[in-house]
Amino acid sequence: MVVDLPDEAATERAGEELALRLRPGDFVAIDGDLGAGKTTLVRGIARGLGIDPLVVASPTFVTVQAYTGGRLPLVHIDLWRVGGQRDPGDTLESIGWDEIVSDTCSVTVAEWANLVASVLPCRRLDVRLTIRGTARTIEITDQRSCC
């Protein structure tokens, strides 16, 4: 189901609502162009988990960030540099990908997950954010029981 997000607050609220459904070990794959609201959504997820949303920054230059203090630990990764192989030093191995996807305690949220589609865990939530003029839409597909 595609849902309209008329403003930034709506994107953050969608993240908060999604957080209520998250369980330890979940992987949330976020797909969306630059400016589609990926980091805003993560801020809402953090708030929904009881983590201070102000700690959530756009991690483009810090590929992995972990936030604690909420109902579940939140691992926030940005795969832009890894997926685009824009820097040969940024590899899945260098960010500790195997540990990230086998972490059964935390929730992991990945911006630009579509860039590494072939290695995503099959049990995951897919989130697609789309830019529609000045607003956005979101579509969430729960694939946690699909493999």
- Beta-bridge mates of residue 135: 132
58 part of the interface to Mg ion, by CB under 5 A: yes
Q: Which is nearer to ligand ADP, 38 or 81 (CB)?
A: 38
| Position with the least CB separation from Mg ion | 39
**Neighbour tally for 77: CB within 10 Å:** 26
Residue whose C-alpha is closest to residue 128's, from 38, 34, 13? 38
At which residue do the structure tokens 């953050």 appear? 12
| 136: partner contacted, choices Mg ion, ligand ADP, none (Cβ within 5-8 A by kind) | ligand ADP
E strand spans, 10-86: 27-31, 64-67, 74-78
| Nearer CB in complex with Mg ion: 38/47 | 38
Q: Which residue lies nearer to ligand ADP by CB, 124 or 136?
A: 136
Site string for Mg ion, 4-43 (x = CB under 5 A): ----------------------------------xx----
User: Nearer Cβ to ligand ADP, position 41 or 100?
Assistant: 41
* 8 Å CB contact between 1 and 127: no
Q: Do the beta carbons of residue 61 and residue 82 sit within 8 Å?
A: no
Interacting residues toward Mg ion by CB under 5 A: 38-39, 58
